[in-house]
Amino acid sequence: MLRIGCHLSASKGYTAMAKQAYDIGANVFQFFTRNPRGGAAKAIDENDIRSFYEFTGEHGITDYLAHAPYTLNSCAADEKILTFARETMQDDLRRMEYIPGNCYNFHPGSHVKQGTETGIEKIAATLNMVLTPDMSTTVLLETMAGKGSEVGGKFEELREIIDRVELSDKLGVCLDTCHIYDAGYDIVSNLDGVIAEFDRVIGLDRLKAVHLNDSKNPIGSHKDRHETIGNGFIGLDAIERIINHPALRDKPFYLETPNDIPGYAREIALLKELYRD
Ligand code: FE
Ligand code: FE
Ligand code: ZN
């Protein structure tokens, strides 16, 4: 069965998200751990968590991918910004233990003028601070478009981060189709080649989630502008091959397309139709 869902708002709590996921035909979903621009997180309501598990258990909703605020920069040059990123991640990871055994995805960071090597070192240092032996969460590095000075636009950069992390068994990767296409990986005409490259450099055992997005821009544009499914440069044929690819088809897919809720429901229905059981 296709594991498919989308990004949902966490503002009304976990149970409300699970119900919304079910209403639109999703069996997985993604949410921000707090305001995407940072700021304080809402207190966890244990009653909400209980009814959340009751609902998801009854309705077959299986994966809840948390996304860190995208403004965190875990390789910032400024000490204050760096400390803020690290403390926010630590707090998020403590809260993740209310929904144990799930994944927490983050954008590795932007090195700004420090250079990629320094960026990689600092991101690894951040992970060495926030990962703990007893946590049940897997932290995912997201593949990036390589916009500006973003780290993670090349598989090799993610590999270098992983290699510097002590508790690397707590690490995985989230593959964003718009980002890797914008980064220059040709998933339209050479999907097998890109997947083989991912396996060679990172290892497919690290792949825990896929962000399924079309792109408003051509390959290699380094833009990171998501498009609705089938309406961008990746296109519906390539997306059909992606969700059915033997190395990907069992992974959870999360839409982050520019949509309202009915739009997501339509995309989920379309993707279920294209999936070969
Ligand atoms: Fe992201
Ligand atoms: Fe993404
Ligand atoms: Zn993006």
Indicate the number of domains in the chain.
1
The answer, yes or no, to whether residue 1 has pLDDT greater than 90, is yes
Q: Count Cα neighbours of 150 within 13 Å in the Cβ-side half-sphere.
A: 25
- Check residue 99 and give its pLDDT: 97
CB burial readout 185-195, b (16+ within 10 A) else e? bebbeebeebb
Please choose, from the candidates 46, 50, 52, the residue with its C-alpha nearest in 3D space to the C-alpha of residue 29.
Answer: 52
The answer, yes or no, to whether residue 38 has pLDDT greater than 90, is no
Domain encompassing residue 205: 4-274
Report residue 35's pLDDT band, with 50, 70 and 90 as the boundaries: confident
Q: Which one from 63, 92, 160, 176 is the annotated catalytic residue?
A: 176
What are the tokens at 88?
């926010």
Contact between residue 79 and residue 117 where contact means Cβ atoms under 8 Å apart: no
- Check residue 42 and give its pLDDT: 85
Cα 183 to ligand 2 centroid, rounded to whole Å: 13
Cα 208 to ligand 1 centroid, rounded to whole Å: 14
Q: How far is CA 80 from CA 239, 259, 268, in A?
A: 41, 35, 41
In this structure, the strands spanning 207-212 and 252-255 are parallel
Report residue 138's pLDDT band, with 50, 70 and 90 as the boundaries: very high
Is 222 noted as a catalytic residue in this protein? no
Sequence-separated (6 or more) residues with CB below 8 Å from residue 197: 155, 185
Q: Which one from 7, 107, 159, 206 is the annotated catalytic residue?
A: 107
Is 176 noted as a catalytic residue in this protein? yes
Report residue 36's pLDDT band, with 50, 70 and 90 as the boundaries: confident
- Check residue 32 and give its pLDDT: 96
Q: Which one from 92, 150, 182, 224 is the annotated catalytic residue?
A: 224
219-229 pLDDT, tens digit each: 999 999 999 99
Report residue 79's pLDDT band, with 50, 70 and 90 as the boundaries: very high
How far is Cα 255 from Cα 257, in angstroms, rounded to an integer?
Answer: 6
Cα 148 to ligand 3 centroid, rounded to whole Å: 13
Contact between residue 130 and residue 86 where contact means Cβ atoms under 8 Å apart: yes
Is 224 noted as a catalytic residue in this protein? yes
Find the mean pLDDT for residues 66-87. Answer: 97
Interhelix angle 116-130/79-96, nearest 10 degrees? 40
* Nearest ligand, CA 256: 2
- Check residue 59 and give its pLDDT: 98
Sequence-separated (6 or more) residues with CB below 8 Å from residue 255: 4, 5, 6, 7, 211, 212, 213, 229, 264, 267, 268
Find the mean pLDDT for residues 241-247. Answer: 98
Beta strands in 107-245 (DSSP E): 109-110, 138-142, 150-151, 171-176, 207-212, 214-215, 226-227
The answer, yes or no, to whether residue 39 has pLDDT greater than 80, is no
180-224 pLDDT, tens digit each: 999 999 999 999 999 999 999 999 999 999 999 999 999 999 999
Is 37 noted as a catalytic residue in this protein? yes
Is 67 noted as a catalytic residue in this protein? yes
- Check residue 116 and give its pLDDT: 98
Cα 179 to ligand 3 centroid, rounded to whole Å: 6
CATH value at residue 26? 3.20.20.150
